[in-house]
Amino acid sequence: MSDVESKGTKPTSEATSILEIFSFMVLFLCKKILFVDRKLRIIYYLGCLFLISLIKDAITIPKWYFSRSDNILNTFFVKFAWGWNLALIVPFLLLTSYIYCCGQKNRILKYHIPRVFIATFFWWFWIKIFNIVEASFGRCMVKAFVSKDTCLLAGYVWNGFDISGHSFILIYGSLVLIEEANCMMQWDSIKDYLRLEEHNKKIIKDSTLNNNPLRNLSDEEFVNLQKIMQNILHILGYFL
């Protein structure tokens, strides 16, 4: 084959396995659910909060198991919501950043892991602010107690401006999860990019003619990325 012919020929993709087809279907469905326009998502969240608040004020909520604070969903899930979030975010972040950083652990520690600590800090910060607001702008049902702590210790009710921490953590947690999932927008294209870039490295001498997103990877990074993707597909094969 002549040099001219080779330059105009791109490698065809390999036969798609059932595993890959299933993965593409799952990714497509997840993207449709997760990556809704942010403005619509904000309107949806605020609308739900407003509507539910109106319903609660207008209708007496019947006293049943799920209206109690000690129900299983509140006790084991909502109260530990950020912990459950971290249980999902940390493994996902480690996996995706390991791929996008081509296995370079120093880049993962420098550019990706700090996001978890930043998100956790702001979760703690806003919860503290909510508690301060409730304690500062309220009063005990018995006027003799002027602080929230003494009022509650005495067995009385503190009537304060209570910002729902449950609503906050559910919305905040879902937004953090969705933002982390943004890295999957082009996830299903990585394999094709690898195949085309391997071809480009052999025939394209002028890097300005190469528009592949992986064109700036060094040879070592490129090989590492190939191995990582092969290992991931191999591991997924045990579960699907």
* Residue 10 counted as domain residue: no
The DSSP line for the chain is --HHHHHT--PPPPPPPHHHHHHHHHHHHHHHHH---HHHHHHHHHHHHHHHHHHHHHSPPP--GGGSTTSHHIIIIITTHHHHHHHHHHHHHHHHHHHHTTT-HHHHHHHTHHHHHHHHHHHHHHHHHHHHHHHHSEEESSTT--SHHHHHHTT--EEE----HHHHHHHHHHHHHHHHHGGGTTGGGHHHHHHHHHHHHHH---GGG---TTTT--HHHHHHHHHHHHHHHHHHTTT-
Give the range of the structural domain holding residue 155, as residue numbers without chain letter: 72-184
> For residues 31 and 183, what is the distance between their CA atoms, to the nearest angstrom?
11
Domain stops at, among 184, 204, 220: 184
> For residues 238 and 240, what is the distance between their CA atoms, to the nearest angstrom?
6
Buried b (16+ CB within 10 A) or exposed e, 165-186: beeebbbbbeebeeebbebeee
Looking at the fold, whether 150 and 217 belong to one and the same domain comes out as no
Residues 135/147, Cβ–Cβ less than 8 Å: yes
Looking at the fold, whether 96 and 135 belong to one and the same domain comes out as yes
Looking at the fold, whether 140 and 193 belong to one and the same domain comes out as no
Structural domain count of the chain: 2
For residue 118, the model assigns a pLDDT of 95
* Residue 5 counted as domain residue: no
SS3 of residue 140 by DSSP: strand
Looking at the fold, whether 160 and 195 belong to one and the same domain comes out as no
> For residues 81 and 15, what is the distance between their CA atoms, to the nearest angstrom?
42
pTM of the model: 0.74
Domain stops at, among 184, 201, 231: 184
For residue 113, the model assigns a pLDDT of 93
Task: Kindly report, residue by residue over 106-157, the tens digit of the pLDDT.
Answer: 989 998 999 999 999 999 999 999 888 888 888 888 888 888 888 888 888 8
Looking at the fold, whether 124 and 164 belong to one and the same domain comes out as yes
For residue 1, the model assigns a pLDDT of 43
* Residue 193 counted as domain residue: yes
* Residue 20 counted as domain residue: no
For residue 13, the model assigns a pLDDT of 65
For residue 120, the model assigns a pLDDT of 95
Looking at the fold, whether 233 and 162 belong to one and the same domain comes out as no
Q: How large is the angle between the packed helices 18-34 and 165-181, nearest 10 degrees?
A: 140
Amino acid type, 209 = L
Bridge partners of 46, per DSSP, are none
* Residue 102 counted as domain residue: yes
Domain stops at, among 140, 166, 184: 184
Looking at the fold, whether 217 and 142 belong to one and the same domain comes out as no
Q: Per-block average pLDDT, block size 10, for the chain (240 residues)? A: 50 68 78 80 86 81 76 82 91 88 88 93 92 85 84 85 82 88 77 80 70 81 85 62
Looking at the fold, whether 197 and 117 belong to one and the same domain comes out as no
